[in-house]
Amino acid sequence: MLSSEDTTAQALPSKSTSRSSKRKAMATQQQAPSSEGSLLQAIEMVAKEKGIDRGRLVKTVEEAILKAAQSVFGLNRELQATFSEETGQVDLFQFMTVVDDVSDDEREIALEDAQKAGLEAEIGEELGFQIFWHPSDARKAIDQDKEFGDLLMVKQARSSFGRIAAQTAKQVLIQRVRDEERDIIFNEFKDKKGELIKGVVRRFEKGNNLIVDLGRAEGVLPFREQTPRETYRPGDRIVALLKDIDREARGPQIILSRSDGKLVEKLFESEVPEIYEGIVKIVACAREPGARSKIAVMSRDADVDPVGACVGMKGSRVQAVVQELRGEKIDIVPWDRDPARFVCAAIQPAEVNKVIVNEADGRMELVVPDEKLSLAIGRKGQNVRLAWHLTGWKLDIISESKFKQMEEDAIAQLGRIDGVTEQVARSMYRMGFRALEEVAEASTEELGGIQGVGSENAVSIRDAAEATMERLRQERVVAASAKLEPLTESDKLLLVRGVGERTVQMLADAGYRSVDELLREDEDRLATKTGMGPKKARALRKGAEQFVQSDWRGIEAARKATVAAVAAHAAASSTDIVVASDSSSALS
């Protein structure tokens, strides 16, 4: 071992290794504490102010210096970076194994060379050398190069390492602080997702996004999550719903919302103790932000009125929510297990005289008095739209006069089936049959249960309905051939075999609005999306193919001939007028 006080090498702590051989470490003189201490001070300050674990910051700096050293001195070298609590710097060490014959001069040192350098070593031992890279250790670096320069071969690379190491440590430390801050924010707010959160508006960003100060963090209220007609100024207090936490976002991680329907639910929960305690439950909520909301409530206690609990004494509770939502109207309706009753409550303030339920399509027809029709529909369809979203049922609002007309039209259509009298048609209507195609697709059991039909006539009635549908389709084909104006996609669908008004509506609800879209779709997918079943879907595809290959060509040819005839007639009429005009001029 070297014992001279002037030398730059003395015993170092051994580095842990999986090798069985004994290690011997060498290093430098004990360093005097750095007068700068900037790194240590930075770590201490960041750990205190940001609430980040000091040990993780230290480990980050060590990893940064090691990474920078490997990029400068080479990845092949066995390097180790250790933070010194005494000096406040990161010490860098290189370890080399003593061997007889050197095959890797960056990781191995010959026994002879080690002895020439005055180092006591044995074969298999590992020697550790401190690489002086900090500017304050410039003198020690010079002395080390004199003694061990030929062994370490780091002189040229070390000249630039100090600057690179400082920059790398700074960048990595800043990034680690950001990552740690994001983790802290995420861990603090992840359990508050879906809850109300209060803050102060700080500033506006591009896209009209609001940045909200939440205390230890900032949240963003995107423009899409803002309520129409609401305006804010810096310094305004705001209550919003914590909608999401985006861990990967470059800006604020916390996404807020003022337009989400859950905001209404949480505001009621904060105002109504019965909801917070679980006695009253908000079953569903439908909202059009800034305009109107509907909530359906139920009570687990028969003695507690759920609507009254939400309204409060003299409307105090609901008014508090309305005030927070800046005047947004709120309808509170009682939830009911019976879908028809629930829908009637949801469509309030309109009165409903009759409800016709179509469970297969998830649709209801609501018959309301003529004078209440506009009230039931609401402004721009708002009331019926909210009721639709609240209940989950597709709703058709029909006035009494129109319903009676539709009833007579349906009965008249059913009466066109051969063998069906007016009395039987009315019986069919009462059993829920509204169109010819419903009769054509019904089972013998369904038709046999109709008064006046019976099981013995069920098959013949169904066949007659199919024949009537085809006859009416042929009439539509003839009419379409004589039309001058282009046919709509709906008109074309009605010319396909087996398609009636009901089928057109079902196809439209599933997203199929033309014959081409019908032909492009797979049969199984068509059956699944429309709910018609594989048999009906297969028949529709086949009917559409036949229409395109046969009927449509005939219709197009007939329409072109009609248009040409009309044009020729118009030209002839124009010529007659011109001739008559010339004759009048000659006579005068």
374: domain CATH number? 3.30.300.20
455 versus 16: the higher-pLDDT residue is: 455
Best mean pLDDT range from 109-113, 419-423, 484-488? 419-423
What pLDDT is stored for residue 560 in this prediction?
A: 78
Residues 45 and 165 in one domain: yes
Q: Average the pLDDT over 15-40 and give the result.
A: 43
Reported as type and span, the H/E element at residue 238 is strand 237-245
Dig out the tokens for 14 from the structure.
């051994």
Q: What are all long-range contacts of 565-574, with beta carbons under 8 Å and residues at least 24 apart? A: 566/484
What pLDDT is stored for residue 32 in this prediction?
A: 38
Dig out the tokens for 530 from the structure.
């429309």
From 241, 257, 273, the end of a domain falls on 257
Q: Average the pLDDT over 412-417 and give the result.
A: 88
Residues 132 and 22 in one domain: yes
Residues 153 and 242 in one domain: no
Residues 225 and 177 in one domain: no
Q: Is residue 169 part of a domain?
A: yes
Q: Output phi, psi for 113, to 5 deg.
A: -65, -40
pLDDT digits (tens, 9 = 90+) for 152-172: 766 655 666 766 776 777 777
What CA–CA distance (Å, rounded) separates 456 from 142?
114
N- to C-terminal Cα distance for the chain?
A: 140
Dig out the tokens for 577 from the structure.
């007028």
Q: Average the pLDDT over 202-210 and give the result.
A: 87
Q: Is residue 54 part of a domain?
A: yes
What pLDDT is stored for residue 325 in this prediction?
A: 93
What CA–CA distance (Å, rounded) separates 318 from 298?
16
Are 296 and 335 contacting, i.e. CB atoms less than 8 angstroms apart? yes
Q: Above 70 in pLDDT, residue 3?
A: no
Dig out the tokens for 481 from the structure.
């051939």
Q: How far is CA 404 from the centre of its chain?
A: 44
Q: Average the pLDDT over 205-232 and give the result.
A: 88
Are 232 and 223 contacting, i.e. CB atoms less than 8 angstroms apart? no
What pLDDT is stored for residue 312 in this prediction?
A: 92
Q: What is the pTM of this model?
A: 0.63
Residues 368 and 491 in one domain: no
Q: Is residue 33 part of a domain?
A: yes
From 223, 257, 291, the end of a domain falls on 257
513 versus 175: the higher-pLDDT residue is: 513
What pLDDT is stored for residue 301 in this prediction?
A: 92
Dig out the tokens for 549 from the structure.
């290959």
Q: How far is CA 145 from CA 18, 73, 82, 345, in A?
A: 30, 15, 21, 91
Contacting residues for 521 by C-beta, under 8 A, at least 6 apart: 512, 529, 541
Angle ∠(522,523,526) on CA atoms, nearest 5: 85
Based on the number of CB atoms within 10 Å of its own CB, is 78 exposed (0-12), middle (13-18) or buried (19 or more)? middle
Residues 216 and 175 in one domain: no
**Lowest-pLDDT choice from 11-20, 108-117, 162-171, 363-372:** 11-20
Q: Is residue 535 part of a domain?
A: yes
Q: Identify residue 253 by its one-letter amino acid code.
A: Q
Angle ∠(474,477,480) on CA atoms, nearest 5: 155
Q: How far is CA 503 from CA 324, 388, 532, in A?
A: 46, 22, 9
| Sign (positive or negative) of CA dihedral 222, 228, 230, 231 | positive
Q: Is residue 423 part of a domain?
A: no
Residues 135 and 31 in one domain: yes
Beta-strand ranges (E) seen in 126-236 are 126-131, 196-205, 209-213, 218-221
Residues 152 and 68 in one domain: yes
Residues 367 and 506 in one domain: no
Residues 166 and 204 in one domain: no
Q: How far is CA 95 from CA 76, 108, 191, 198, 383, in A?
A: 11, 9, 48, 56, 78
Q: Is residue 274 part of a domain?
A: no
Domain holding 71, by residue range, is: 10-184
Q: Is residue 304 part of a domain?
A: no
What pLDDT is stored for residue 158 in this prediction?
A: 61
Dig out the tokens for 338 from the structure.
């019976």
From 152, 184, 216, the end of a domain falls on 184
Q: Output phi, psi for 280, to 5 deg.
A: -110, 140
Q: Is residue 429 part of a domain?
A: no
Q: Above 50 in pLDDT, residue 332?
A: yes
The Cβ-side half-sphere exposure at 195, using a 13 Å CA radius, reads: 8
Q: Above 90 in pLDDT, residue 34?
A: no
Residues 156 and 243 in one domain: no
The DSSP annotation for 269-323 comes to HHH-HHHHTTSEEEEEEEEETTTEEEEEEEESSTTS-HHHHHH-GGGHHHHHHHH
What pLDDT is stored for residue 195 in this prediction?
A: 92
Residues 41 and 174 in one domain: yes
Number of domains in the chain: 4
**Lowest-pLDDT choice from 259-268, 276-285, 305-314, 441-450:** 441-450
Q: What CATH code is carried by the domain that includes residue 138?
A: 3.30.1480.10
What CA–CA distance (Å, rounded) separates 25 from 175?
34
